[in-house]
Structure 1
Amino acid sequence: MSNKIYPIGIQNFESLRKDGYFYVDKTALIYRMVKTGRYYFLSRPRRFGKSLLISTLEAYFQGKKELFENLAIEKLEKDWIQYPVLHLDLNARNYENKESLIEELNKYLEIWEKKYNSPYRDRAPEERFYQVIRLAYEQTGQRVVILVDEYDKPLLQAIGNKALQNEYRNTLKPFYGVLKTLDGCIKFAILTGVTKFGKVSVFSDLNNLIDISMDEQYVALCGITEQEIYDNFEEDLQELADKQKMSYEEAAHELKVCYDGYHFVEDSIGIYNPFSLLNTFYKMKFGSYWFETGTPTYLVELLKRSHYNLEQMTHVETSSEVLNSIYGDEEPIPVIFQSGYLTIKSYDEEFELYRLGFPNKEVEEGFVKFLMPYYTRYNKLEAPFEIQKFVREIRAGEIDAFFRRLRSFFADTPYELIRDLELHYQNVLFIVFKLVGFYVKAEYHTSEGRVDLVLQTDKFIYVMEFKLDGTAEEALHQINEKHYALPFEADGRQLFKIGVNFSVETRNIEKWIVE
């Protein structure tokens, strides 16, 4: 049995090291970053270790050599100089208005002003910040280190409220702009967050920031690689396999399917979600640990406000300009990618296009489950039971029961919420069939308002064609005319061909025919 103490939720490097928690050594990368640049920006999904990275940098710049015993940086660093460190963490507050952001900035400014005896407390936040940096440099004789964690928390909470976002930007832009005006007083600075969508207006004065979010040499700075699992968790993986009655190879494969697959740059190694990985080893069972901590509703608000076709998320093609977009409050894909719900699957070098998709099973299943209450009449407690009933009906060949249940997913949808009825119809079908597909084999594609679907169980094969304001007879005729069922006709399982029509007038399934 492993004797590791897993650092789940531990974001303070000093307490992690002093209390004996296990640490996957990232200090060689940290040393490289510190020695090869001064100003950095890093975007990573939540729960990926950004706060621990910031805390590790803080301990390093405070010269706490004893905390780095037996880590790579212990041999690399020779000087261990103590620098003044200003650590600003914007993650620990709910931002409801401009005053809440000012209050949070004041909290940190007051601590720093007291430490460095600043007499400039009656000025604007950016002026106070300027004076604190200057005084810290003058009083210690060492240039200042500035660490900003979750710079975008206020901006994310204000998605959908442009007036409030502008107020936050107008406050943060001059505040962060101080970093450029005091270049001679600053040793090192890094800002981390989930997204880059405020970059133009918030960081427009900070054109000296090195963005390492899609830099191959730093892909493993946050998160865990497959090699790090084998180097650090081999005993844990064997114990997991034994607990789950799997072979070592089967457990390793399931870990990969569930939690690997994050690619922050093309043709790079995959990164495992560290939060889910550590929880799996701690509990010795697989689970959707990342999603259990909560998925931000701003993602759904973006998708619905932009009238996004959800099926497109399974095969997005886009450019680096979009992935690095600073307009995420208007276009959902950059924010969904930067938030970790989509990742790079492949790269077309000739046309410089990225293909995106869900990184792994945990994200795909969790995200689609999360969407369901926002697009159907069922809340998050009812939804899993409805999907369970769908799957049972499909496995039992109960086609009429299946379609009666599917009808209920469209019932009572407020008309004012459906500006584009066809898109709403497509999105509900995508969610239902995607969730059903986690339990039975599902293949489908959509184009021009049409959904073709094949569901396969151990006993049955269903070939379905959906029409919008056509007829069920036309849909069934299309299955036969275009030979959709031909690949399955030699199969020993019972084959059903099903034509379905969706009515704009009733905003629901009007009729289905089974052959």
Structure 2
Amino acid sequence: MNTPVNTFRKLPIGIQSFEKLRSEGFMYVDKTALVFRLVQAGIPCFLSRPRRFGKSLLLSTLEAYFKGKKELFEGLAIEQLEQNWFEYPVLHLSLNAEKYDSRERLEKMLELQLESWETTYGVDKGTMTYSGRFSTIIRRAYEQSGRRVVVLVDEYDKPMLQTFDNPDLQEDFRKTLTAFYTVLKDADPYLQFVFITGVTKFAQMGIFSTLNQLNDISFDLEYNTLCGMTRTEIEATFIPELQALTKQTETTYEQAVEQLTRQYDGYRFTPEKGFTPMYNPFSVLSALAKSRFGDYWFASGTPTFLVEMLKRTDFDLRELDGIEVSSASLNDDRANISNPIPMIYQSGYLTIKAYDQRFRTYTLGFPNEEVKYGFLNFAAPFYTPVTSTDTSFYIGKFVHELETGETEAFLNRLTCFFADFPYELNVKTERHYQVVFYLVFKLMGQFTQAEVRTAKGRADAVVKTADYIYVFEFKLHGTAEEALKQIDDKGYLLPYTIDGRQLVKVGVAFDAEKRNLGEWLIG
């Protein structure tokens, strides 16, 4: 009797320790050729990438390399590239784990880290400041080892992001961290390598103003694939998992990979041509481990402060996907509350879709379906009276009702999205109503073909199901009859007349008094 082969393989979901990953047999997408290139350049670097994109694992890999742990790199690209495995003193500071809701929290974290280093290198802290202690530790580590020091800082901006709505506390954090990081400028003769990561660049304002030698590689084509996964890497590394996903989802291999691409691919971190689109590694690994597609990255964190920024600036949510911005705005290190787009981009909810070299402008958009539908579903309760749980429920019902031709039920349910608006219909709230329509139809797009129109001469929304094509026209100032007449007069149905499915036109008018849907006509 043949013993079945154990095909179970360990996928490194959430694993941030390179040593643990390699010593305990987790799968690894080899990034060490790029790591070697990075360290050979020898320039102090900064890299911004979205959360859960492998930044912490990258720093852990660098730490293992600089500590000379050659055995962990057996079989990897760097084993053939590196001839001299020296051991350097490494100061690895991670700001990732703490909740920074007070000055004391940040100070306690820095105190614990400094005390650990002082114990290692025999430094008496005395009455020195944080910066004085940090400087002394670097110098002592250099003197004791005879080699220059490596400094790795993970998620430098975590305290700043957590206090975005508290300017006073944020200013406290900025002063503390500025004094701490400024040491790296004067300590340059004692430093072999410095690498700093974060989600955003904005908190650099003040914090890194003196570190003019810091090379920002966030937009460099050379390091576009340093974090994340490419399609080639996924198909070369995870064949058994892709086959299991194919079987579990009852699709072909090609269909499974295409779905993986639609859900998790699409990140572009450089304006240069010749880039490789990047997959979100956390989502890919989660989908492969569970053999099931899901909103893994989005569910692992809540972008509340981003949506609050959109509301505070009265930003038109409809403009988010496909917005054009200047190159300067994405490269600027100054956070601007009146311009939320750069922050949303750097947090990973938008990515580069196109770059106009002549005018130096970027076109941004959602990278993939996971981010698009996750963000819009999360945003919906900020614009409507329903909760996030109710939003999913309603969207499912909306789709079902249109699939079965229950247009009246659909419109009755839609009124729930406009209930209890606390203000009269005016120029500002007109946009609010339009955004709610946009959210409803965009969210339906993940289950059926739903399009929201903004160009003149087209219907406001079109929904295609297996048996029906719906054409919607909404009137904020006008009657349902006028909306229906516009569908006919403008020929909105013409593109679909030879389709074969039943055509349904829907004209809807608002009731300013009720601040909700008023009358509607179905033709």
TM-score, normalised on structure 1? 0.95
Aligned AA (1:322)? S
Runs of 5+ in structure 2 lacking a partner? Answer: 1-5
Find the aligned partners of 2:459 and 2:419 in 1 and give their Cα distance: 20
Find the aligned partners of 1:162 and 1:39 in 2 and give their Cα distance: 29
SS at match of 1:420: helix
Q: 1:45, CA displacement in angstroms?
A: 0.8
Aligned AA (2:142)? Y
> For residue 99 of structure 1, what is the aligned residue in structure 2?
104
Using a 3 Å threshold, how does the CA distance of structure 1 residues 228 and 403 change in structure 2: closer, same or farther? same
Is 1:265 aligned to 2:270, yes or no?
Answer: yes
> For residue 40 of structure 2, what is the aligned residue in structure 1?
35
- 2:442–2:452 contact (8 Å) kept in structure 1: no
> For residue 275 of structure 1, what is the aligned residue in structure 2?
282
Is 1:501 aligned to 2:509, yes or no?
Answer: yes
Aligned AA (1:316)? I
Find the aligned partners of 1:207 and 1:469 in 2 and give their Cα distance: 56
2:383 to 364, 370, 375: 375
Find the aligned partners of 2:106 and 2:270 in 1 and give their Cα distance: 33
| Deviation readout 1:229-269 (Å, 9 max, x if unpaired) | 12212232223212322222122211111111111113311
Is 1:513 aligned to 2:521, yes or no?
Answer: yes
2:152 to 122, 147, 158: 147
SS at match of 1:187: strand
- 2:508–2:521 contact (8 Å) kept in structure 1: yes
- 2:468–2:502 contact (8 Å) kept in structure 1: yes
Q: 1:493, CA displacement in angstroms?
A: 2.0
SS at match of 1:145: strand
1:62 to 50, 61, 67: 67
> For residue 496 of structure 2, what is the aligned residue in structure 1?
488
Q: 1:504, CA displacement in angstroms?
A: 4.2
Find the aligned partners of 1:288 and 1:236 in 2 and give their Cα distance: 18
Q: 1:14, CA displacement in angstroms?
A: 0.8
- 1:22-421 alignment, distance < 5 Å: 22-266=27-271, 267=273, 268-330=275-337, 331-415=339-423, 420-421=428-429
Q: How many residues align?
A: 513
Using a 3 Å threshold, how does the CA distance of structure 1 residues 488 and 305 change in structure 2: closer, same or farther? same
Aligned AA (1:243)? Q
Using a 3 Å threshold, how does the CA distance of structure 1 residues 2 and 269 change in structure 2: closer, same or farther? farther
- 1:302–1:329 contact (8 Å) kept in structure 2: no
SS at match of 1:271: coil
Runs of 5+ in structure 1 lacking a partner? Answer: none
Q: % of aligned pairs identical?
A: 52
Aligned AA (1:372)? A
Q: RMSD of the alignment, in Å?
A: 2.0
Using the TM superposition, name which of 504-513 and 316-325 deviates more. Answer: 504-513
Q: 1:7, CA displacement in angstroms?
A: 0.8
SS at match of 1:81: coil
| Deviation readout 1:303-352 (Å, 9 max, x if unpaired) | 11121111111211112222223234512111211111111112223222
Aligned AA (2:327)? S
SS at match of 1:190: strand
- 2:49–2:346 contact (8 Å) kept in structure 1: yes
Using a 3 Å threshold, how does the CA distance of structure 1 residues 300 and 121 change in structure 2: closer, same or farther? farther
- 2:441–2:451 contact (8 Å) kept in structure 1: no
Using a 3 Å threshold, how does the CA distance of structure 1 residues 376 and 260 change in structure 2: closer, same or farther? same
- 1:426–1:451 contact (8 Å) kept in structure 2: no
Q: 1:503, CA displacement in angstroms?
A: 4.0
